[in-house]
Structure 1
Amino acid sequence: MLPEQVGDWVLHELPRLNEAILNQHAPPELLVTELCEHVLPGLPDPTQLTPVQAQRLVVHLGFAGASVARHYQEHTPGGTEHPERAFDVLTAGEERIPFRRYFAGLAQHTGTGHYDRDSYASLVRWNVGTVRVRLHGEVVAELPGVFDDGRIRSYTGTAGEERFFLLVKQGEAIELAVNCALEPLTAEHASLICEKARHRVREATVLLAELRRLFRDFASRPAEETMAADAFMDVFRQFAAHWTPGDIPPSGALDPEALKRDFLLGIDEPEYDRQARRLFPALLDQERTEIGNLMSDCPLPCRVLAEVGVDEADLRLSDEGDLRRLVAHHPALIDWHRLLTMHAQVSGAHLMLSKKFLFKPQRQRDAAGLGDQHLVSNRAGTTGMTETYLERLTRARQRHTLAALRPVLIPENRDPGADPAVRSDRGAAAPVVLELTG
């Protein structure tokens, strides 16, 4: 098939085949036969493609490869021990290049440093159309996709899978907008307490409030408007099987904008740097560089304290009178505290999503003696993050650098979009609008 035909096949035939195999209406070998006889033989040499064409084909073959890996391991005794054998009979192009080697060459030709298997970047960012974020009516971030057909590719063609991919990309787009607001403050001589800096911090807080709302809204809606937990656990997640032993499957933990925000704002978790670096092979080149640079920089809140002449230890030992005087003298601390508090609340909303769609249902299954999936465990995220670890990260974000100011500041349980401190310069509450194009 030509690349365009592969795209049509992934949109229409692959979901049908996956559904048939999952429902035991077809043998898993049927998918391999279709790929060998109709899809892979006509693929071009990757060097004949433009980088964008290569990106699109990476998306399509990523879905195909994930499907092959899953069905092989579910139906082959010992398949999880040697997942790479799922691809033994698959070759691509006239030269019959082994599938995984062809995929690796294709990924390299994108020029992005894409991983040699499907990844967060291809499944979410490239797959879903361009998402724009508007604040006060102005575009503050744009997260492009590589397709312009208005479609979202998925494993089984269900609306729930499409909604989940869209949710994750919308979340990343908002995170990108937050980071775009904050990253100029990392400049060496930038003031973090001047009015311009405070404005950026307020804007970032409003954007994070929208991200929290997005997560909460998805968690609160009925299953028919989102995705049923059983479908998430037993269908969707099981396509994140290994292609080779020890590789890194796609995961929300690979969202680069979330990682950047943690390093911009700081996180009191000793293992976090090591965990982030463990994910580096599955990130794109630019993401690795940007995150690595932020990891070596001083977090912005620490620089704020340095600018006002206080260190974190002294802040924690200060009495309320000293804290009130400090805030009165440096009101920018209020804005930064609100930002860090909202950052922690977003973490809590994300944890709530994880509990609803993964950890709580699995505990119920365990209590009923139903056990776990043997392919992709539902007792942890696909990169191994457990519920306990995610709870620890949320608590670490709550223990932020300015947490000692909490007793002297107004309780912040309101929506910051309605707070005068985070209104636009025109005095109107700052709306955040998400637009999906392409």
Structure 2
Amino acid sequence: MVPEQVGYWVLHELPRLNQAILQDHAPPELLVTELHEHVLDHLPEVTQLTPAQAQQLVVHLGFVGASVARHYQEHTAGGTEHPERAFDPLTVDDRIPFRTYFATLAAHTGTGHYERDSYASLVRWNVGTIQVRLHDEVVAELPGVFDDGRIRSYTGTPGEERFFLLVKQGEAIELAVNCFLEPLTREHADLIGESARHRVREATLLLGAMRKLFIEFGSLPAEQTMDAEMFMDVFRQFAAHWVPGDIPPSGALDPEALKRDFLLGIAEPDYDQQARRLFPALLERERTEIDDLITAPTLPQRLLAEIGLDESALRLSDDGDLRRLVAHHPALVDWYRLLAMHARVSGAHLMLSKKFLFKPQRQRDAEGIGDQHLVSNRAGTTGMTESFLERITRARQNHALAPLRSVLIGENPALPGTEGVRSARGATAPVVLELTG
């Protein structure tokens, strides 16, 4: 079987089987039988594949592994304690254990991909290439590994496809933001000149568009997004462990979001350790780039050093001192707006988390329904609770330039970035997202 045939099976047959098993119309053992007959007994030798073909097959077999893991653990007593046993019946060509084949395949991509499905394969590689246009100019492109215009999913429902698309659109905008900001980390970079101010203003505009994207998704009716019940009971439950202690796919593994936090700084103790805990599930290049940012001064720290201040001195300044400082260094206004919009994006993300996860679960708890046995809906798939997300949102609000709030709020035009975002062929807006593959 060539990779294209595997792709057809994952696009069409796997969602059908998952739906049948979830609705108790078929036993979970049927999935294993069908996999052997139509997929596993016909997979190519990994060395016969190009790295690009290996990436595509990682996406496909990631959906396969997630499906097998979920159904086994939901239908087997003690399955969650020994998730690895789900894969005991799965062999490639009757000789290679499934997880061994997957790990070899992941290594063959040359990306340092995790030995199970991950954010990179589930979202970035799965969804087609997304271009970000700002003022009609392409400022970032986030590639996928398919050019068929399809989005693979667990059950083939439009809600899953919309959610995958939303997450990749968000990462594409974040990539554009970071492309504007990362050059400012270079040694001797000027952070208060007109070129830097332009970069900061464009990054702020992009973040505002991302915030609006999230808010609009959260305001749409369920039939145009994904209802909370589907999100909690179907979609999230495919993020089960493959082995004890592994890291399931999660939006917390979005590398561009992590990079932005370390570029702009976040006043949360041990946040760097939280990020490093996720490193095994990131790609090799992402681990290197994030680690470099963790150990480097943040952009606000560099900015304050350039004007001869530090965070402590800024916090001790009175309003008069702050007004004189802003008058002498007007670039501070642009930087403040960037950090404020960064925090507002965090607030919009928190809103989505509350709407689709935390509030419905609290309602279930109040009604005595309880939680899911497999993947808890009381926290994200990497263990982030509602209180933790609230805390890091406050930490982003308490940014390095927060002391300027008292002299800037009410004295300057509204924060930029509310102009909006549109998908291609929509209404006019400065930020356009286009799915090109």
Q: Which TM-score applies when normalising by structure 1?
A: 0.96
Is the Cα contact below 8 Å between 2:208 and 2:418 reproduced in 1? no
Distance 2:417 2:205 in 1: 6
Other structure's SS at 2:347 match: helix
Q: What amino acid sits opposite 2:35 in the alignment?
A: L
Q: Which residue of 2 aligns with 1:407?
A: 406
Q: 1:414, CA displacement in angstroms? A: 3.6
Q: Which residue of 2 aligns with 1:78?
A: 78
Distance 2:174 2:98 in 1: 35
Q: Which residue of 2 aligns with 1:19?
A: 19
Q: Which residue of 2 aligns with 1:424?
A: none
Q: Structure 2 matches for 1:221-300, cutoff 5 A?
A: 221-300=220-299
Distance 2:47 2:22 in 1: 36
Q: Which residue of 1 aligns with 2:424?
A: none
Q: Structure 2 matches for 1:369-388, cutoff 5 A?
A: 369-388=368-387
Q: Structure 2 matches for 1:36-435, cutoff 5 A?
A: 36-93=36-93, 96-411=95-410, 414=414, 416-417=416-417, 431-435=430-434
Distance 2:320 2:337 in 1: 20
Other structure's SS at 1:245 match: coil
Q: 1:271, CA displacement in angstroms? A: 2.0
Is the Cα contact below 8 Å between 2:337 and 2:415 reproduced in 1? no
Other structure's SS at 1:190 match: coil
Other structure's SS at 1:140 match: strand
Distance 1:47 1:120 in 2: 24
Aligned residues: 428
Distance 1:16 1:413 in 2: 53
Distance 1:417 1:121 in 2: 28
1:184-229 deviation per Cα after TM superposition (whole angstroms, max 9, x unaligned):
0000110100100000000000000000001000000000000000
Q: What amino acid sits opposite 2:196 in the alignment?
A: A
Distance 2:70 2:195 in 1: 51
Is the Cα contact below 8 Å between 2:131 and 2:434 reproduced in 1? yes
Other structure's SS at 2:41 match: coil
Q: What amino acid sits opposite 1:187 in the alignment?
A: R
1:325-371 deviation per Cα after TM superposition (whole angstroms, max 9, x unaligned):
00000000000000000000000000000000000000000000000
Other structure's SS at 2:176 match: helix
Is the Cα contact below 8 Å between 1:41 and 1:96 reproduced in 2? no
- Stretches of structure 2 lacking an aligned partner (at least 5 in a row): 420-427
Distance 2:252 2:218 in 1: 18
Distance 1:414 1:404 in 2: 18
User: Structure 1 residues 432 and 37 mapped into 2: Cα distance closer, same or farther (>3 Å)?
Assistant: same
Is the Cα contact below 8 Å between 2:300 and 2:401 reproduced in 1? yes
Q: 1:314, CA displacement in angstroms? A: 1.1
Is the Cα contact below 8 Å between 2:255 and 2:282 reproduced in 1? yes
Distance 1:263 1:413 in 2: 28
Distance 2:413 2:219 in 1: 19
Other structure's SS at 1:289 match: helix
Q: Which residue of 2 aligns with 1:426?
A: none
Q: What amino acid sits opposite 1:259 in the alignment?
A: L
1:279-306 deviation per Cα after TM superposition (whole angstroms, max 9, x unaligned):
0000000000000000000000011111
Q: What amino acid sits opposite 1:27 in the alignment?
A: P
Aligned-residue identity in percent: 80
1:214-245 deviation per Cα after TM superposition (whole angstroms, max 9, x unaligned):
10000000000000000000000000000000
Other structure's SS at 1:274 match: helix
Is the Cα contact below 8 Å between 2:140 and 2:172 reproduced in 1? yes
Is the Cα contact below 8 Å between 2:207 and 2:417 reproduced in 1? no
Is the Cα contact below 8 Å between 1:125 and 1:145 reproduced in 2? yes
User: Structure 1 residues 29 and 206 mapped into 2: Cα distance closer, same or farther (>3 Å)?
Assistant: same
Distance 1:276 1:327 in 2: 34
Between 1:266-275 and 1:276-285, the stretch displaced more is 266-275
Distance 1:28 1:228 in 2: 25
Q: Which residue of 1 aligns with 2:423?
A: none
Distance 1:54 1:2 in 2: 11
1:35-76 deviation per Cα after TM superposition (whole angstroms, max 9, x unaligned):
112211110111110000000000000000000000000000
1:104-123 deviation per Cα after TM superposition (whole angstroms, max 9, x unaligned):
00000000000000000000
Other structure's SS at 1:380 match: coil
Q: 1:410, CA displacement in angstroms? A: 3.2
Between 1:156-165 and 1:403-412, the stretch displaced more is 403-412
Q: 1:96, CA displacement in angstroms? A: 2.1
Is the Cα contact below 8 Å between 1:417 and 1:430 reproduced in 2? no
Distance 1:415 1:365 in 2: 38
1:245-303 deviation per Cα after TM superposition (whole angstroms, max 9, x unaligned):
00000000000000000000000001211110000000000000000000000000011
Q: What amino acid sits opposite 1:122 in the alignment?
A: S
Q: 1:321, CA displacement in angstroms? A: 0.5
Is the Cα contact below 8 Å between 1:14 and 1:64 reproduced in 2? yes
- Stretches of structure 1 lacking an aligned partner (at least 5 in a row): 420-428
Distance 2:278 2:378 in 1: 19
Other structure's SS at 1:247 match: coil
Q: What amino acid sits opposite 2:221 in the alignment?
A: P
1:63-106 deviation per Cα after TM superposition (whole angstroms, max 9, x unaligned):
0000000000000000000000000010113x621000000000
